[in-house]
Amino acid sequence: MSMDRRQFLKITGVSTILGIGAVAGVNGLSRSPVEASQVEPSPDALKAKRWGFVIDMSKFRTDDDFTRVRHACHSIHNVPDIDNPKVEIKWIWKDTYEHTFPGQESKYMAEEMKDKPFMVLCNHCDNPPCVRVCPTKATFKRSDGIVMMDMHRCIGCRFCMAACPFGARSFNFGDPRPFIKEPNPEFPTRTKGVVEKCTFCYERLAKGLNPACVDASQGGIVFGDLEDPKSEVRRLISKHYTIRRKLELGTEPSVYYIIGGNENA
């Protein structure tokens, strides 16, 4: 199912249409985030001031823990399975501590720690350089903190890929459709020449569902409102020592990692 712009506008309703109209005219000048949604809002929709993830790496013990999560995300979002690391598309994947947190390793650190796999994905940065550089607002930040992509607007300039310091973005170097094994008709497939990445399962939140990775992680990934002091994510952050990627760059990632500790939830 791929929505064209007309359908998309119909579904999002008059208020959003006006919103987008105004946005096209003045948003460049104002700092307010773009309000747009590709799905009909439901009364059960999950809402937050700033969505975030806490990923407890102690809950990821086997390879299967990683592949299950990756598969859950990639299969429902029609992420193609391209077997070439240079042009592959990935929304959530694993990499080692050493490469996820470059500069944090030390030569005296146990090999085990250096090679410890971490789940990585778009950080939905609070101060996202990808949004700053996009010349068409195809990448934009919603008021709930989700850094979104409008794949119908993206011109494929890849400025956002140069700007993202986390390698979170993938570009469709060719038509992705032949590489989707079992397409999910509920979610749009993409065309060649556009950039894509994790979208925090905005379409599931709107229906009142958890992000797919959260459900598949068996407690390893917790999501919630970072602005709500009573949220589960905030409880975990206050209770555990957490780390985030490349803090020195000031992008303010919304993904927190708990390295050790057996306790959670």
Partner 1 sequence: MLEKALSGGKGYWAWIFLLLAIIGTGFACYLMQFNYGLGITGMSRDVSWGFYIAQFTFLVGVAASAVMMVIPYYLHDYKTFGRVVILGEFLAIASVIMCMLFIFCDMGQPTRVMNVILHPTPNSVMFWDMLVLSGYLALNLVIGWTTLGADRKELPPPSWVKPFIYLSVPWAVSIHTVTAFLYAGLPGRHLWLTAIMAARFLSSAFAAGPALLILLAMIVRKVSKFDPGKEAIQSLAKIVTYAMCVNVFFLLLEVFTAFYSKIPGEMAPIKYLFVGLEGHTRLVPFMRTASVLAIGGIALLVYPNTRKNESILPFSLIAVFIACWIDKGMGLVVGGFVPNPFERVVEYSPTVPELLITLGVYGIGALALTILYKVAVSVREETEAGDIQEGWHGSGH
Binding site for partner 1 (CB under 8 A): 24, 28-29, 86-88, 95, 98-100, 102-103, 129, 132-138, 153-159, 161-167, 169-175, 191-195, 246, 249-251
Minimum CB separation of residue 95 from partner 1 in Å reads 6
Closer by beta carbon to ligand SF4, 46 or else 125? 125
Q: Is 129 in the site for ligand SF4 (CB under 6 A)?
A: yes
Question: What does 249 bind: ligand SF4, partner 1, none (CB cut-off 5 to 8 Å by kind)?
Answer: partner 1
Residue in 169, 190, 204, 240 binding ligand SF4, rule: CB under 6 A: 169
Q: Which amino acid is at 177?
A: R
Minimum CB separation of residue 190 from ligand SF4 in Å reads 11
Binding site for ligand SF4 (CB under 6 A): 122-125, 128-130, 133-136, 138-139, 147, 154-160, 164, 166, 168-169, 195, 197, 251
